[in-house]
Amino acid sequence: MMTTASAGCGPGTVLVDGVCQLAPEESSEGCGEGTELVNGVCQLAKTSGTSMSIEPMYIVIAAVAVGGGVIGAVFAIKRGSGTPKPAKRDLDAYESKYVARQKTEPSRKPAEKKETSSSCSNCGNTLKPEAKFCGGCGTPRS
């Protein structure tokens, strides 16, 4: 039951803003770890800053991952492309075989051209090389 300030508050209560409320009780045990007593109520303790604690296991995992990446990069650089480079004498032998093979291949012959008249046998009009008929008189090309 709440009373006003004129009537007074009962035992175990205090007057707050004109209203009787239960008085905070401080125990000998106090609040738990990470908490503090505020106005008679245990609340989480406020820490300075926003520091986060990282569990040691996560730190170990991150260190192993970074170390593995560095070691992998070193091996990749040392190994190179993975394809062995041929010796100079192997290249010389290949080149001599290639050049010898190029010289023995037959050369291509140019296509034979069929000579046709460039003027019409009927009217003497000049004909285009691809024409099948005379453009002047219509005579078939001979």
Per-residue pLDDT at 95 exceeds 90:
no
For the chain, percent of residues with pLDDT exceeding 70 = 72
67: pLDDT confidence band, cut at 50, 70 and 90? very high
Task: Report, as an integer, the average pLDDT of 17-45.
Answer: 72
What pTM, to 2 d.p., does this model score?
0.23
| pLDDT the model gives residue 68 | 92
Residue type, 40: G
24: pLDDT confidence band, cut at 50, 70 and 90? low
Asked whether the CA dihedral 92, 96, 102, 103 is positive or negative, the reply is positive
Task: Report, as an integer, the average pLDDT of 120-141.
Answer: 87
Task: Report, as an integer, the average pLDDT of 36-63.
Answer: 74
| pLDDT the model gives residue 133 | 87
Task: Report, as an integer, the average pLDDT of 6-15.
Answer: 72
Going by C-alpha positions, the residue among 31, 53, 25 that lies closest to residue 44 is: 31
Task: Report, as an integer, the average pLDDT of 11-40.
Answer: 73
Weakest mean pLDDT among 6-10, 27-31, 67-71, 80-84 = 27-31
